[in-house]
Chains A and B, each alone.
Chain A
Amino acid sequence: MGQTLRLGLAVFWLALSANLYATDLDVPEDLYQDPDWLTLGHYQPGPLGRGYTSQADDDRFFLSPDGKHSPKAELEATLRAIQTPGDGDLHARCRFPARDAWLRERLGLPRSPVTCPAYDAWKRTLNTETVTLVFAASYLNSPSSMFGHTFLRLDPPQQDEQTNLLLASTISYAADAQAHDSELLFAYKGIFGGYPGITTVQPYYEKIRLYSDIEHRDLWEYTLNLTGPEVERLLAHAWEIQDKRFDYYFFDENCAYRLLALIDVARPGTRLLDEVGTHAIPSDTVRWVVDKGLVSRVYYRPSAATSVAYQIDQLPAPQQQLAAAIANGYVAPDAPEVRALPEPEQAAVLDATYDYVRYQSEAEGWPRGYAAPLSHRLLMARSRIHGAVPKDTPPTPPVRDDQGHDTFRLSLGTGQQDHREFLNLTLRPAYHDVLDPPAGYRPGAQLQFLRLDARVYTDNDELQLERLTAVEIRSLSPRDAFFSPLSWQVGFGARRTDTGQDRVLTPYLEGGAGGSWRLGGATQAFALATADLEIDDDLSRGYDAAPGADLGLLHQSDRLSLLAGVRTKAWLVSDQHRRDQLYLQGGWHLGRRFSLFAEFSRDHHFDRYQSLWHAGLHAYF
Chain B
Amino acid sequence: MKKLIAGAILLGASSMAFAQPGCGVGAMIWKGQSGIAPHVLAATTNGTFGNQTFGMTTGTLGCQTNEAVQSMAMYMDSNIDKVARDMSRGSGENLDTLAVLLGVEQGDRETFRKVLQDNFATIFPSADTTSGEAIDAIVGVLEQHEALSKYVAA
- Nearest Cβ on chain B to A247's Cβ, whole angstroms: 13
Query: Complex: how many Å from CA A255 to CA B44?
Result: 11
CB of B96 within 8 Å of the partner chain: yes
A163 touches B96 (CB 8 A): yes
Our pick among A210, A250, A379 for the contact of B45 (Cβ within 8 Å) is: A250
**Which chain B residues border A358 with CB–CB below 8 Å?**
30, 81, 85
Our pick among B47, B90, B92, B93 for the contact of A177 (Cβ within 8 Å) is: B47
CB of A368 within 8 Å of the partner chain: yes
Query: Complex: how many Å from CA A250 to CA B90?
Result: 43
CB of A15 within 8 Å of the partner chain: no
A175 touches B46 (CB 8 A): yes
Query: Complex: how many Å from CA A215 to CA B49?
Result: 14
A190 touches B41 (CB 8 A): yes
Query: Complex: how many Å from CA A149 to CA B118?
Result: 40
Chain A, residue nearest B101 (CB): A167
Chain B, residue nearest A176 (CB): B48
Our pick among B40, B87, B100, B117 for the contact of A167 (Cβ within 8 Å) is: B100
Per-residue CB contact flags for chain B residues 40-82 toward chain A (1 = under 8 Å, else 0) read 1111111111101110000000000001000100110011010
A144 touches B100 (CB 8 A): no
A375 touches B100 (CB 8 A): no
Q: Which of B90, B91, B124 has the most CB of A within 10 A?
A: B90
- Nearest Cβ on chain A to B142's Cβ, whole angstroms: 17
**Which chain B residues border A163 with CB–CB below 8 Å?**
93, 96-97, 99-100
A166 touches B46 (CB 8 A): no
CB of A142 within 8 Å of the partner chain: yes
Within 8 A of B (CB), among A166-200: 166-167, 174-179, 183-184, 186-187, 190-191, 195, 200
B71 touches A203 (CB 8 A): yes
Given contacts A145-B44, A166-B97, contact A386 B90 (CB under 8 A): yes
Question: Which of B16-24, B31-39, B131-139, B143-151 interfaces with chain A?
Answer: B31-39
Query: Complex: how many Å from CA A380 to CA B118?
Result: 10
- Nearest Cβ on chain A to B60's Cβ, whole angstroms: 16
**Which chain A residues border B126 with CB–CB below 8 Å?**
376
Query: Complex: how many Å from CA A323 to CA B47?
Result: 37
B90 touches A202 (CB 8 A): no
**Which chain A residues border B91 with CB–CB below 8 Å?**
389-390
Given contacts A361-B30, A390-B91, contact A149 B53 (CB under 8 A): no
A372 touches B40 (CB 8 A): no
Within 8 A of B (CB), among A353-378: 354-355, 358, 361-362, 365, 368, 371-373, 375-376, 378
**Which chain B residues border A203 with CB–CB below 8 Å?**
71, 74-75
Within 8 A of B (CB), among A437-464: none
B121 touches A368 (CB 8 A): no
CB of B88 within 8 Å of the partner chain: yes
Our pick among B30, B38, B40, B117 for the contact of A386 (Cβ within 8 Å) is: B117
**Which chain A residues border B40 with CB–CB below 8 Å?**
142, 144-145, 183
CB of A583 within 8 Å of the partner chain: no
Within 8 A of A (CB), among B84-139: 84-85, 87-94, 96-97, 99-101, 106, 114, 117-118, 120-121, 124, 126-128
B75 touches A205 (CB 8 A): yes
CB of B152 within 8 Å of the partner chain: no
Given contacts A250-B45, A372-B29, contact A127 B2 (CB under 8 A): yes
Given contacts A160-B100, A164-B100, contact A186 B47 (CB under 8 A): yes
Size bracket of the B interface: 35 or more
- Nearest Cβ on chain A to B96's Cβ, whole angstroms: 4
B93 touches A162 (CB 8 A): yes
- Nearest Cβ on chain B to A503's Cβ, whole angstroms: 33
Interface SS, A side: helix
Chain B, residue nearest A156 (CB): B2
- Nearest Cβ on chain B to A619's Cβ, whole angstroms: 26
Given contacts A167-B71, A210-B53, A376-B124, contact A174 B46 (CB under 8 A): yes
- Nearest Cβ on chain B to A401's Cβ, whole angstroms: 15
- Nearest Cβ on chain B to A279's Cβ, whole angstroms: 12
- Nearest Cβ on chain A to B6's Cβ, whole angstroms: 9
A380 touches B88 (CB 8 A): yes
CB of A206 within 8 Å of the partner chain: yes
**Which chain A residues border B106 with CB–CB below 8 Å?**
160
A175 touches B45 (CB 8 A): yes
Chain A, residue nearest B125 (CB): A376
**Which chain A residues border B128 with CB–CB below 8 Å?**
372
B79 touches A177 (CB 8 A): no
Per-residue CB contact flags for chain A residues 144-164 toward chain B (1 = under 8 Å, else 0) read 110101000000000010111
**Which chain B residues border A147 with CB–CB below 8 Å?**
44, 46
**Which chain B residues border A205 with CB–CB below 8 Å?**
75, 78-79, 97
- Nearest Cβ on chain B to A214's Cβ, whole angstroms: 6
**Which chain B residues border A40 with CB–CB below 8 Å?**
none
Given contacts A205-B79, A214-B33, contact A186 B39 (CB under 8 A): yes
Q: Please provide the 8 A-B residue pairs with the shortest distance between their CB atoms, ordered closest to farther.
A: A190-B45, A383-B120, A175-B47, A379-B88, A376-B127, A163-B96, A372-B30, A383-B88
Q: List 29 A-B contacts (CB under 8 A).
A: A127-B2, A142-B40, A144-B40, A145-B40, A145-B44, A160-B100, A163-B100, A167-B100, A174-B46, A174-B47, A175-B48, A177-B50, A183-B42, A190-B44, A190-B45, A190-B47, A191-B45, A200-B48, A206-B54, A209-B78, A210-B52, A214-B36, A215-B43, A376-B126, A376-B127, A379-B87, A380-B88, A383-B121, A386-B117
Please give 20 more A-B residue pairs, beta carbons under 8 A apart, in addition to A206-B78, A209-B78, A375-B30: A139-B38, A142-B38, A144-B43, A176-B47, A176-B50, A177-B50, A195-B47, A203-B74, A250-B46, A365-B32, A368-B31, A371-B30, A373-B127, A376-B126, A379-B84, A379-B120, A380-B88, A382-B89, A386-B90, A386-B117
**Interface residues, chain A, CB within 8 Å of chain B?**
125, 127, 139, 142, 144-145, 147, 149, 160, 162-164, 166-167, 174-179, 183-184, 186-187, 190-191, 195, 200, 202-203, 205-206, 209-210, 214-215, 248, 250, 254-255, 282, 347, 351, 354-355, 358, 361-362, 365, 368, 371-373, 375-376, 378-380, 382-383, 386-390
